[in-house]
Structure 1
Amino acid sequence: MAMTEGNLEAPTRHPLDWQNPEFYDQTKIDAELERVFDVCHGCRRCVNLCGSFPTLFDLIDGTPDGELEQVNKADYQTVVDQCYLCDVCYMTKCPYVPPHPWNIDFPHLMLRQKAKNFQDDKATVRDKVLSATDKMGFFAGIPIVTQAVNAVNKTGLARLMLEGALGVHKDAWLPEYATKTFPQLAAKSSTFPVIDGKKTPGKVAIFATCYINYNEPGIGQDLIKILQHNEIPYELVEKEACCGMPKLELGDLESVAANKEKNIPKLAELARAGYAILTPIPSCTLMFKQELPLMFPGDTAVQAVKEAMWDPFEYLVARHKDGLLKTNFTTELGHVSYHLACHSRVQNVGQKTAEALRLIPGTVVNVVERCSGHSGTWGVKKEFHEMAKKIGKPVFKRMAEEEPNFISSDCQLAGHHIEQGMAELGLPPTPMAHPLTLMAKGYGL
């Protein structure tokens, strides 16, 4: 395919036609894979983003004539397997996304094949278990159980058994379960007067996410401390289900739809009542801002939630521009190496976390804007963990530059992966803390 000029307009996303039977037609999927792969072969701009593109180019370069048509279509799956739907190729690299006439949407094409694989019952038990984050959180909040599970997960023998039974790499970092869940620890609401700004609603609903609920509720507690310090009333979203991102990454779109039916009615009610909805994990924010609206473009409730959904630091910076954020910080943070997570980058809100942390006197923020390689459930799998470390290696090195006082990422999973990667490279140990924890610290809370 002859090259043409790239698109200079802002990327736009077409709805995901996942309920159309043709979406799952393998012949049509193969034809679209071939079309898109041919464009990628001629461009190669995304070669350094993840494993999908080097895998594709190696397949092509390994043929007698270096042509895509000589690649066995069965090998296309090796390209799909390397994609963890970070969306960076679409949002920051590819010049041929819509409205360009070539209409390239590499991540959603990979998702289409994953959905076909799931429909054909090709998902493993391991993948189904890892994607059931809310069910895995069953252990959280039961102190004796969580202590036992956490202890077992730290032993080498147990990790070898887990690798053999489920294919979870024995060296990959796994989150611990909390002895008390976020809802058990947090007050359900606060009652400050509502002060709306020009840019920001004056009241907040917190969608805590599975990770905050079950693994690190302290991050949610830090968000509450920041809101209370700024006299912003909040409510917790009660009985929330998983946002659906792990199921989306698996291609289990029916489960995504089922979780949407559990979450959206409550969230839409809050949105229509004038709440800003905050999620402390960027993948969950992205799910409500982008993926669900694209899956359900005609659902007005989904669209209402999209408009009300904020990244926490997007909200706090906008609150500052409204002149309503307190800047009475008491504790300098020094040098912070901050990793801008992929699912934060593709929300197109800018470097709001770094902007907020720079409000704290005596704080210098070094922004590392590159994929850490972890990507949730993908990076812990036996067959992909070494690739996750390879992708993250440049990030590990850059995070250690200038001897930081803290390393941080909006994606706490990425933060732990970076912390582990730095240690394995023998880089100086540095405290890792979520940006919300750092901002609370800046306030002296």
Structure 2
Amino acid sequence: MAEPTGTVREGSLEAPTRHPLDWLKPEFWDRQALEQEMERVFNICHGCRRCVSLCHAFPTLFDLIDNSASMEIDGVAKNDYAKVVEQCYLCDLCYLTKCPYVPPHPWNVDFPHVMLRAKAVAFREHGAPLSARVLSNTRAVGKLASIPVVVQTINAANRNTTARKLLEKTMGVDAKARVPIYHTPTARKRLRKLDGQGESKPAGRTRGKIAIFATCYCDHSEPGVVEDLAAVLTHNAIPVRLVERESCCGMPKFELGDLDTVRKYKERNIPVLANMAREGWDFTAAIPSCVLMFKQELPLMFPDDQDIALVRDRFFDPFEYLAERHKAGLLAIDFKQSLGKIAWQVPCHQRVQKIGPKTGDILQLVPGTEVTVIERCSGHDGTYGVKHKTYALSRKLAKPVENRVAQADATHFTSDCPMAGSHIAHGLDDKPAAEHPLTLLRKAYGI
């Protein structure tokens, strides 16, 4: 297939723009049109190859091309396109950090949206295996696993070799992968008495009071991180409460291509959040993927929804929020304890929020603290790092990060994504173990 013609070959020097996801239009679901767009984009990627080290999707594509009879994209069978799609976990890094041909460049390459479209079409045509549907139903699994007595049984089974081998056979969860530990009571139950009372000054884009979206993962598997977030905000005299009601943000179903279920979650979450936003509340969550869902993915799926736009503008990464307060001189810096050397892995879904290294900036305010920044993917991505089909690849992707952590010889290892942190620490035999940066900040405050 020939390269696109009629346009300059140089990459755009302008900031990337993102077009909405046209999933509500009939042509989005047309397989022939999808395959034509995949062929066009794959051909451009073949001629560039800058993203070869980001994930396994690009090596898969380039191997298919290089091993074909023509050694061009026209030599790759359309049925093999699915092999590339399977390896993409929609981290968005290729779009925002590597590709020179994203809009406003006239070639208009949006590799993640093409992959998402392919996942959505495949899901609508064929559904998904039971294991994928269960693993992506994080709220339901968490609720079941956090029931008293049940929680001890599930956690014990997850530590049992025989049970893990059975789980691998039945649900496709690799027996060697680290899986979540479930807790009771959950974060929302532990913090239900937060009342959001008090007063605090607006600062920058922050309005002075904030509600925590607990997230499925933290609510059931890392409730201590939500407690740390609340403690840090309270220490800074910021009125804080929980979001009144919450469903899953939708990211696990989004990555599966189940866009109709994403819409159902949106219809549960957005009215609650929009009403709270009108009452003056900002929002935050301790999982970058959940923040990104409200900041980027839902606004791109529903570009004309004013309530979604309102929530988007009021949602903050925790350290982005604290940095806004610090810029206005309103962040407490009464730190009691140095943190020493920290190796910080920056999660992909935080990097693509375009907020800069705010976590590192805040942690380095602690006297006697040095942060080594590691901007490389953990290879976890929710289910990619636990599925038997992709676990070995996820370990390969995590290895450069593990090497950097080991080389840093740090006192602490941290990642804003608890799942990414746990995955990397697992490869290091927990030497050091993963700690959330909010946990470290609370420790520095001595609260």
TM-score normalised by L of structure 1: 0.97
Distance 1:361 1:381 in 2: 41
Q: What one-letter code is carried by the residue in structure 2 that aligns with 1:444?
A: G
Deviation at 1:270, TM superposition (A): 1.6
Structure 1 residue aligned with 2:91: 86
Deviation at 1:179, TM superposition (A): 1.7
Structure 2 residue aligned with 1:374: 380
State which of 420, 429, 433 in structure 1 corresponds to 2:426. Answer: 420
User: Is 2:382 the counterpart of 1:385?
Assistant: no
Q: CA offsets, 1:79-119, max 9 Å, x none?
A: 00000000000010000000100000000100001001110
% identity of equivalent residues = 52
SS at the partner of 1:367?
A: strand
Structure 1 residue aligned with 2:152: 147
Whether the 8 Å CA contact 2:187–2:223 is kept in 1: the answer is yes
State which of 171, 178, 190 in structure 2 corresponds to 1:173. Answer: 178
Structure 2 residue aligned with 1:163: 168
Q: CA offsets, 1:173-213, max 9 Å, x none?
A: 10011121011111232322132124421100111110111
Residue segments in structure 2 that go unaligned for 5+ positions in a row: none
Distance 1:137 1:116 in 2: 28
Distance 2:80 2:135 in 1: 25
User: Is 2:225 the counterpart of 1:219?
Assistant: yes
Whether the 8 Å CA contact 1:243–1:260 is kept in 2: the answer is yes
Structure 1 residue aligned with 2:438: 436
Distance 2:386 2:204 in 1: 43
State which of 182, 203, 206 in structure 1 corresponds to 2:209. Answer: 203
TM-score normalised by L of structure 2: 0.97
Distance 1:318 1:392 in 2: 32
Structure 2 residue aligned with 1:252: 258
State which of 339, 349, 359 in structure 1 corresponds to 2:355. Answer: 349
Deviation at 1:171, TM superposition (A): 0.6
Structure 2 residue aligned with 1:277: 283
Whether the 8 Å CA contact 1:147–1:179 is kept in 2: the answer is no
Q: What one-letter code is carried by the residue in structure 1 that aligns with 2:140?
A: K
Whether the 8 Å CA contact 1:46–1:89 is kept in 2: the answer is yes
CA RMSD, 1 decimal: 1.1
SS at the partner of 2:372?
A: strand
Moved over 6 A (4+): none
Whether the 8 Å CA contact 1:200–1:322 is kept in 2: the answer is no
User: Is 2:335 the counterpart of 1:329?
Assistant: yes
Deviation at 1:140, TM superposition (A): 4.5
Distance 1:58 1:122 in 2: 28
Whether the 8 Å CA contact 1:405–1:431 is kept in 2: the answer is no
Distance 2:156 2:359 in 1: 34
State which of 312, 318, 325 in structure 2 corresponds to 1:319. Answer: 325
State which of 4, 20, 23 in structure 1 corresponds to 2:25. Answer: 20
Deviation at 1:256, TM superposition (A): 0.2
SS at the partner of 2:126?
A: coil
Deviation at 1:156, TM superposition (A): 0.6
State which of 386, 401, 404 in structure 2 corresponds to 1:398. Answer: 404
Q: CA offsets, 1:201-239, max 9 Å, x none?
A: 110011111011111100000011101111100121122
Residue segments in structure 1 that go unaligned for 5+ positions in a row: none
Q: What one-letter code is carried by the residue in structure 2 that aligns with 1:297?
A: P
Distance 1:224 1:198 in 2: 20
Structure 2 counterparts to residues 301-316 of structure 1, below 5 A: 301-316=307-322
Deviation at 1:362, TM superposition (A): 1.1
Deviation at 1:435, TM superposition (A): 0.4
User: Is 2:200 the counterpart of 1:194?
Assistant: yes
State which of 286, 295, 307 in structure 1 corresponds to 2:292. Answer: 286
